[in-house]
Amino acid sequence: MERPESSPSQIYEITVRSELGERWPRLLDGLGHTVEVRGGSPEASILRVAVQDQAALRGLLNQLWDLNLTLVSLHRIVPQHEGA
């Protein structure tokens, strides 16, 4: 199986229970990302991040674990042209 020269980024939506506040810019340094905070009890932060490969995703999840954040959900966002 041939490997592509440069693998495209995959977009993931990660929801954690907690507001990331001041921690998220350092956590997501160098990643294309958006953060949405949803109110409620407890609050949740939704990260949409672009990662190059599974190793990068694993590293990001490890960072969330190290921050003692509770993972609520993880979804890969499939571009419309891929899902058709």
Side-chain half-sphere of 12: how many Cα atoms within 13 Å?
Answer: 19
Summarize the confidence of residues 1-13 as an average pLDDT: 66
CATH number of 10-77: 3.30.70.260
* Dihedral of alpha carbons 63, 7, 45, 74, sign: negative
Tell me the pLDDT tens digit for each residue of 28-52. Answer: 666 655 666 676 666 888 888 888 8
- pTM score > 0.75 for this model? no
* Dihedral of alpha carbons 39, 47, 11, 34, sign: positive
Instruction: Classify strands 70-77 and 44-51 as parallel, antiparallel or unpaired.
Output: unpaired
Summarize the confidence of residues 49-75 as an average pLDDT: 89
Q: Is the pLDDT of residue 1 over 50?
A: no
